Structure 1
Amino acid sequence: MRNASILVLATGGTIAGQAGSATRRDYRPGQIDIADFLEEFAALGLPARMEGRQIANIDSANIGPAIWRDLHSHISAAMNDPACDAIMITHGTDTAEETAFLLDLTLPSTKPVVLVGAMRPADAVGSDGLRNFANAVRVAADAEAPGRGVLLVMGDQVLAARDARKTKTTGSGAFEGFPRGAVALANPASLDWLQPQWRLGEAARWQFPAEFPRVPILHAYAGQTADSVTRLVEAGAKGIVLAGLGDGNAPDAVRDALADAATEGLVVVRATRVDEGLVDREPEDDANGFVAARALGPAKARILCQVLIANGVTDPAAVQEAFSKR
């Protein structure tokens, strides 16, 4: 492991949380300052030079465009700083996949950017925060980490941002990757890459949005009616992501209303409320003007949809190309 210079941007979450008791179930996220966390990490003796900056100290349910913009600005500056080798972000797990994917879409892959969190607060029995952080440092400092886009380190696994999903409400093994599983296995003593670098030297795929367009997620359910769509259109939606039944399906009345919305220029993406599986194109998609989310779940489909609309990409064929790209 090389003695890398790593910038740590802290946003709070469970990794900075405290319960006040080692056995208490509930806790308060975002209680520990990054300077105190790094002081504890220094006692592990891993060869890395760390600079910490507190961007926020909150529950990740409250993270959104303002903090994303701040993170992107700090990371972009670090990308251009020859003294910085890698960037890490401490983050709550509830929205980590959205932040990771947004940054993956809008940053070059020239330096490692690694998100890390925890499922148990710092003062809980079996807290996983410090171990996850040590694993993330090993990943960020590794010479083979660039060229892989943004990575998420949780539970001794390294996941690509496009694949990472939170699949369990509790427990240290709460994240999985789909359609790829882990791209590496990490622990404080070792790191094993399972895939070669797939984005070597790649520039940012899209510009970071100046404004985030309104793109709601519509959850499909039995007995759903068309007014669930028309209300979103009337509220000013620029796109709609359907968290559909099965393979991105919805009741006929809802599909018809979504097709009408697409005719009016909205980007309409069919994803699924099912935990895992591809949503492929179907014969009616061309006529309806729909986009198939492929491997992206509703949360990340929404992020990509927002980025594309902000970059002026609204033609269904062009949007579909972006959803199909690995």
Structure 2
Amino acid sequence: MTTRLTVLATGGTIAGIAGSAIAQDYRAGEIGIDDYLEKVGGLGLAAELSGRQIANIDSAEIGPEVWNPLHAAILEALGRGDCDGVVVTHGTDTLEETAFLLDLTLPATKPVVLVGAMRPADAVGYDGLRNFANAVRVASDGDASGRGVLVVMGDRVFAARDVRKVRTRGTDAFRGFPRESIGFVTPATLEWFGAPWRQGGEALFPWYGDLPEVPILFVHVGMRADEALRLVGEATRGIVVAGVGEGNMPEAVRRELARLASSGIAVVRSSRVDEGLVDREGEDEANRFVAARALNPQKARILLQLLLASGTSDPAAIQQAFDGR
């Protein structure tokens, strides 16, 4: 039986054009989904593909105006009997954030796979066709269900929680932490490194069309306490700290953030280190701080936004949610 997949396009490098096979600069989001599916039609993929254009932009521009229709389109596709899975084409710069948000707000009953490319479609060594063929292979596999939202890049399958972009060039630009890849894929083969882990398949959070304001504070040498205050406005509900090392910061900054936390602003300590694991420390309870554990700052921000939107504001309850990710 032929697998029927819905392809939702948002743009990015995978749909980009440089105008030259060797140019460094290019324009993201130039190829429409109909043209792209025609392009991949000659690959002999063992799936029936139907496409829909959600956006056609550089992923640096991704936000609620794209996330809202994308989430709605995925839900609609997953609910159809003639859809066995969804593939989302996406720019790589913010792919990990979209994947994590969708992972937390979508059911895990059918495969949802995000895919991108590091080189535009007319470049020498374009990786988009192979990545797309690999994504179709993953989305067509019954064992992809129950694993949450997945990301396919560079012949590897990543879980949305773990995936992160670690290089700005080269096709091996993504890595997973704390788990590395959870599968290895080619257009013809797929090997999973473990069993599905999502029990029941329900979404972990409801979908919110608008999320609370949560800025990220990047800690650096010579940082002053008043830099934290510049990020706080009337609508600010939380702050994620991209701290040095294991979520550390200058003492003056710590005192200022503790004051903000005591006023009701949620404060999460994460790390600016690429593979930064942040555990709770002795002062966190008194400061009302939350430790991000293995989530990087941008993913910690998304989880905190969802928790705050759902009415969870107690630091202990927020910490429990982070511990469970």
TM-score (norm 2): 0.98
In structure 1, what is the Cα distance between the partners aligned to 2:261 and 2:237?
Answer: 10
Q: Which residue of 2 is the match for residue 290 of structure 1?
A: 289
Equivalent positions of 1:177-188 (< 5 A) are: 177-188=176-187
Equivalent positions of 1:15-34 (< 5 A) are: 15-34=14-33
Q: Which residue of 2 is the match for residue 203 of structure 1?
A: 202
Q: Which residue of 1 is the match for residue 148 of structure 2?
A: 149
Counterpart code for 2:119: R
Contiguous gaps of at least 5 residues in structure 1: none
Report % sequence identity: 61
SS of 2:51's partner is: strand
Deviations 1:185-222, CA, capped at 9 Å, x for gaps: 00111000111111143200111123211100000011
Contact 1:4-1:49 at 8 Å conserved across structures: yes
In structure 1, what is the Cα distance between the partners aligned to 2:255 and 2:207?
Answer: 33
1:94 is displaced (CA, Å) by 0.3
In structure 1, what is the Cα distance between the partners aligned to 2:278 and 2:57?
Answer: 34
In structure 2, what is the Cα distance between the partners aligned to 1:171 and 1:44?
Answer: 23
Q: Which residue of 1 is the match for residue 69 of structure 2?
A: 70
Is the counterpart of residue 129 in structure 1 residue 128 in structure 2? yes
Counterpart code for 1:12: G
Contact 2:64-2:209 at 8 Å conserved across structures: no
Counterpart code for 2:60: A
Equivalent positions of 1:242-253 (< 5 A) are: 242-253=241-252
Is the counterpart of residue 48 in structure 1 residue 57 in structure 2? no
Equivalent positions of 1:124-273 (< 5 A) are: 124-234=123-233, 236-273=235-272
Number of aligned positions between the proteins: 325
In structure 2, what is the Cα distance between the partners aligned to 1:210 and 1:60?
Answer: 19
Deviations 1:149-204, CA, capped at 9 Å, x for gaps: 00000000000000000000111000000000111000111000111111143200
In structure 1, what is the Cα distance between the partners aligned to 2:234 and 2:60?
Answer: 23
Contact 1:135-1:156 at 8 Å conserved across structures: yes
1:235 is displaced (CA, Å) by 5.1
Deviations 1:54-95, CA, capped at 9 Å, x for gaps: 000000000001111111111111121111100110000000
Counterpart code for 1:218: L
SS of 1:291's partner is: strand
In structure 1, what is the Cα distance between the partners aligned to 2:297 and 2:190?
Answer: 31
Contact 1:13-1:30 at 8 Å conserved across structures: yes
Deviations 1:89-117, CA, capped at 9 Å, x for gaps: 00000000000000000011001000000
Q: Which residue of 1 is the match for residue 280 of structure 2?
A: 281
In structure 1, what is the Cα distance between the partners aligned to 2:19 and 2:242?
Answer: 38
Counterpart code for 1:237: T
In structure 1, what is the Cα distance between the partners aligned to 2:309 and 2:244?
Answer: 28
In structure 2, what is the Cα distance between the partners aligned to 1:279 and 1:209?
Answer: 28
In structure 2, what is the Cα distance between the partners aligned to 1:8 and 1:310?
Answer: 29
In structure 1, what is the Cα distance between the partners aligned to 2:216 and 2:40?
Answer: 39
Counterpart code for 1:320: Q
Deviations 1:23-64, CA, capped at 9 Å, x for gaps: 001100000011111111110111201110000000000000
Equivalent positions of 1:98-117 (< 5 A) are: 98-117=97-116
In structure 2, what is the Cα distance between the partners aligned to 1:49 and 1:262?
Answer: 52
Deviations 1:240-293, CA, capped at 9 Å, x for gaps: 000001100110111111111111111100001111121000010000000000
1:236 is displaced (CA, Å) by 3.1
The ranges of structure 1 where at least 4 consecutive aligned residues each deviate by more than 6 angstroms after the TM superposition are none
Contiguous gaps of at least 5 residues in structure 2: none
Counterpart code for 1:269: V
TM-score (norm 1): 0.98
SS of 2:230's partner is: helix
1:224 is displaced (CA, Å) by 0.8
In structure 1, what is the Cα distance between the partners aligned to 2:111 and 2:233?
Answer: 42
